[in-house]
Structure 1
């Protein structure tokens, strides 16, 4: 077993209302981590 690790570090960004946003990340671990995104919890 290996704890989840972000292989590419996340960064804060600012966008304007109406702009498109692409969220992506690379995570490794054993068992393989499952990543989900949510808005407002």
Structure 2
């Protein structure tokens, strides 16, 4: 399940977001989601 690892990264990013660097975390989430979708297609 290629999406499993992506979801874990998303959860970590959401946990870290309130501690500042929220913009970076949000960007990482977007990148992770896109990568998970690509992995699912591949």
What TM bracket, shorter-length normalisation?
A: under 0.3
Flag the structure with higher strand content.
1
TM-score, length of structure 1 as denominator length:
0.25
From the CA coordinates, give the structure whose radius of gyration is larger. Answer: 1
Flag the structure with higher helix content.
2
TM-score, length of structure 2 as denominator length:
0.25
